[in-house]
Amino acid sequence: MKNVVIILLLLIVVKQLGAQDFFIITNGIVSFNETQLEVGEAGNDISANLRSNAVYLSVNSNYYWNMNNERWRIYIHKSDINWDDQIQLTVKRTGKGQKYWGGKPYIQGGNSNVRINDNPTYFFNGKDKVLNIPVKFRVKKLSLTMGAEDFETDIVFTIYDN
């Protein structure tokens, strides 16, 4: 009976550790200033180098307390709805956000443009719960030769516990 109680306690501890799993919450809608899609003079292609507004990622966990030693890493890829492979899509982290319990957040990487492909690419990593990490997208190589079209893709952020 004593053994069973010890094992049950162990089980609770392990479950509690398992409950530290991180997840991401996004806040905001990606939008581009499409007045930047200018041809200028007849004969020219679109001079497209579009930058989005910032959308915000928060890394959170079901675990309530500080998780200073708990690390995570975020990967990014796209899942196309209607897209043209010539279009170059990149993302960049433009800030560090705020630490959930206050203080300076620990985040590394992602502050230069990362190309978004169909396969997951490493974006950045960090520790603990962090709120409102701003990221911006950039679109290049749009061309009139693609035709008048609505292009759409889902950006997928995947967070892994380290």
Partner 1 sequence: MKYRVLNIVVLFLLFQSLSEKARGQWSEERINLGISIPEVAIIDIEYMGSKSLEFEVVPPVISGGAPEVQQTNNTQLWINYSSAVASWGGKRSIVAQVINGNLPSGLSLFVQASSYRGKGKGELGSSVGKTAISSQPRPIVTNIGSCYTGNGLNNGHSLDFSLDITDFEKVTAMEATEFTILYTITDN
User: Which residues are at the interface with partner 1 (CB under 8 A)?
Assistant: 1, 3-4, 7-8, 10-11, 14-15, 17-18, 21-26, 29-30, 32, 34, 37, 39, 41-46, 50, 52, 55, 57, 78-79, 87, 89, 137, 139, 142-162
Please report how close the Cβ of residue 71 comes to partner 1 at its closest, in angstroms. Answer: 11
DSSP letter (8 states) at residue 54? E
> How far is residue 56's CA from residue 47's CA, in Å, rounded to a whole number?
27
Amino acid present at 77: H
Q: How far apart are CA 33 and CA 47, in angstroms?
A: 13
Q: Is the Cβ of residue 112 or residue 150 nearer to partner 1 in the bound state?
A: 150
Nearest residue to 154 via CA among 130, 137, 133, 132: 137
Least distance in Å: CB of 16 to partner 1? 10
**Between 100 and 160, whose beta carbon lies closer to partner 1?**
160
